[in-house]
């Protein structure tokens, strides 16, 4: 069990979190949400040790795991039982090959090679990431990188899993893969703490919801969840919707759907995108155009090209 006991976090004499008391139990998913800049990510950094080891802060209170205080333990010492998935996972990778990345932490623990390979095969199968093995990290999409980071958490077999806005750069398909991976870790009785703004994909798995506001928090437990609970909480705290936007939402409003992007078109030798004839008058300021990846096409690459931040190779 992980406990935050009267935890106060401050920077330059100003407290951003005050007297936080939370309990996290094995097999539970706790979602921490709230507006940007309220200290959600800082809370995770206090748990994994980045604060105060790398980010100076004034700390009061205590963090206790299985009866032992974490204060005074280094990041290295905490890494034996705490794993973190950062918002931008590429900042935490050390290897170019995805399988090497999954093996990296176990190699540093002097685990036997055969056991490392067994764990990689087992957890990649359980978490649905086998197709991501032996891939170039730089060629993975944002969602695939995120899933590699989650798989690394599973392979570590650490008791505490911290995820900092894991869905922020993911499309719907990748979110579903992430959702399944989190559920598998939950089944394995991990303490799972997720900082998130997008809440719809967590609705059916969360056990506790903590909303941080003005340095303190409001906690809601599973016993309070009822039919209209999520709608009321969303309205009360001005949170994002707990309901997913489905294809039917677009169809009901009679949106015009135009298919313009295809990946790996059969008549092309290049790998990127085939963009069919498509014109959009960007001067129509009263309209909003959504580009949705119904198939695994690189929307990010398209946007970078439009903004002039990537080179376009015409095939």
Could you tell me the CATH number of the domain that includes residue 30? 3.40.50.300
Lowest-confidence segment of 23-32, 121-130, 306-315 by average pLDDT = 306-315
pLDDT above 90 coverage of the chain, percent:
46
Q: Are residues 76 and 178 in the same domain?
A: yes
- Cα 78–Cα 80–Cα 82 angle in degrees, nearest 5: 60
Q: Are residues 208 and 301 in the same domain?
A: no
| Domain finish residue from 210, 237, 264 | 237
Secondary structure of residue 206 in the 3-state scheme: coil
Secondary structure of residue 190 in the 3-state scheme: coil
Q: Are residues 95 and 25 in the same domain?
A: yes
Distance CA 315, CA 312 (A): 9
The pTM for the full model equals 0.80
Secondary structure of residue 270 in the 3-state scheme: coil
Give the mean pLDDT of 183-211. Answer: 91
pLDDT at 265 (0 to 100): 46
pLDDT bin (cut points 50, 70, 90) of residue 192 is very high
The conformational region for residue 113 under phi > 0 = left, psi -120 to 50 = alpha, else beta, is: alpha
Q: What is the pLDDT of residues 220-262, one digit of tens each?
A: 988 888 778 888 888 888 888 777 766 666 566 555 655 555 5
- Asked if residue 244 is part of any domain, the answer here is no
Residue 134 near residue 121, CB atoms below 8 Å: no
| Domain finish residue from 190, 211, 237 | 237
Residue 264 near residue 271, CB atoms below 8 Å: yes
Distance CA 113, CA 264 (A): 37
Q: Are residues 202 and 265 in the same domain?
A: no
pLDDT bin (cut points 50, 70, 90) of residue 267 is very low
- Asked if residue 222 is part of any domain, the answer here is yes
- Asked if residue 157 is part of any domain, the answer here is yes
Distance CA 256, CA 6 (A): 53
Asked whether residue 310 carries a pLDDT value surpassing 60, the answer given is no
Q: Are residues 215 and 306 in the same domain?
A: no
Give the mean pLDDT of 169-181. Answer: 83
Give the mean pLDDT of 74-98. Answer: 90
Contacts with 235 (C-beta within 8 Å, 6 or more apart), sequence order: none
pLDDT at 314 (0 to 100): 44
Phi, psi of 30 (to 5 degrees): -110, 125
Give first-to-last CA distance, the chain, whole Å. 57
Tell me which residue range forms the domain holding 253: 249-315
Residue 269 near residue 315, CB atoms below 8 Å: yes
Residue 205 near residue 29, CB atoms below 8 Å: yes
Give the mean pLDDT of 25-42. Answer: 91
Average pLDDT, the chain: 83
- Asked if residue 214 is part of any domain, the answer here is yes
Q: Are residues 302 and 174 in the same domain?
A: no
- Asked if residue 242 is part of any domain, the answer here is no
Distance CA 299, CA 279 (A): 17
Distance CA 287, CA 305 (A): 22
Distance CA 6, CA 46 (A): 13
- DSSP collapsed to 3 states, 223-266: HHCCCCHHHHHHHHHCCCCCCCCCHHHHHHCCCCCCCCEEECCC
Residue 199 near residue 238, CB atoms below 8 Å: no
Contacts with 237 (C-beta within 8 Å, 6 or more apart), sequence order: 33, 34, 211, 213, 218
Asked whether residue 193 carries a pLDDT value surpassing 80, the answer given is yes
Q: Are residues 155 and 281 in the same domain?
A: no
Q: Are residues 190 and 263 in the same domain?
A: no
| Domain finish residue from 237, 267, 290 | 237
As given in the structure block, the two tokens for residue 101 are 């990345």
Q: Are residues 15 and 153 in the same domain?
A: yes
Asked whether residue 208 carries a pLDDT value surpassing 60, the answer given is yes
Q: Are residues 187 and 297 in the same domain?
A: no
Other residues' Cβ atoms within 10 Å of the Cβ of residue 115: 10
Our count of domains for the chain comes to: 2
Lowest-confidence segment of 126-140, 160-174, 175-189, 235-249 by average pLDDT = 235-249
By residue count, the chain amounts to: 315
Asked whether residue 77 carries a pLDDT value surpassing 60, the answer given is yes
Distance CA 244, CA 249 (A): 10
Partnered with residue 160 across adjacent β-strands are 82, 191
Asked whether residue 3 carries a pLDDT value surpassing 90, the answer given is yes
Q: To which H or E segment does residue 15 belong? A: strand 14-24
Q: To which H or E segment does residue 155 belong? A: helix 142-156
Q: Are residues 201 and 269 in the same domain?
A: no
- Asked if residue 243 is part of any domain, the answer here is no
Select the more confidently predicted residue: 304 or 263. 304
Q: Are residues 23 and 93 in the same domain?
A: yes
């Amino acid at each position: 069990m992980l406990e935050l006991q009267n935890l106060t976090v401050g920077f330059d004499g100003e407290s951003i979190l005050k007297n936080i008391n939370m309990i996290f139990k094995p097999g539970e998913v706790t979602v921490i949400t709230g507006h940007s800049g309220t200290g959600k990510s800082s809370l995770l950094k206090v748990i994994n040790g980045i604060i105060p080891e790398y980010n100076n802060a004034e700390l009061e209170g205590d963090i206790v795991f299985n009866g032992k205080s974490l204060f005074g333990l280094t990041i290295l010492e905490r890494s034996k039982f705490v794993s973190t998935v950062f918002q931008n996972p590429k900042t935490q990778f050390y290897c170019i090959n995805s399988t090497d990345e999954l093996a990296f932490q176990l190699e540093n623990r002097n685990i036997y090679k055969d056991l490392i390979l067994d764990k990689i095969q087992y957890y990649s199968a359980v978490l649905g990431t086998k197709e991501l093995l032996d891939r170039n990290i730089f060629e993975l999409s944002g969602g695939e990188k995120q899933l590699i980071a989650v798989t690394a958490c599973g392979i570590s077999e650490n008791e505490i899993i911290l995820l900092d806005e894991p869905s922020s750069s993911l499309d719907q398909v990748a979110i579903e893969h992430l959702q399944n991976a989190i559920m598998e870790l939950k089944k394995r009785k991990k303490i799972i703490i997720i900082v998130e703004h997008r809440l719809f994909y967590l609705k059916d798995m969360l056990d506790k919801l903590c909303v941080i506001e003005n340095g303190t928090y409001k906690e809601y437990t599973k016993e309070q969840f009822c039919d209209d609970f999520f709608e009321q909480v969303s309205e009360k705290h001005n949170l994002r919707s707990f309901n997913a936007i489905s294809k039917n939402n677009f169809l009901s409003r009679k949106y015009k759907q135009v298919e313009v992007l295809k990946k790996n078109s059969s008549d092309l030798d290049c790998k990127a995108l085939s963009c069919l004839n498509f014109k959009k008058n960007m001067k129509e300021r009263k309209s909003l155009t959504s580009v949705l990846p119904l198939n695994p096409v690189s929307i990010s690459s398209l946007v970078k090209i439009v903004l002039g931040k990537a080179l376009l190779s015409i095939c």
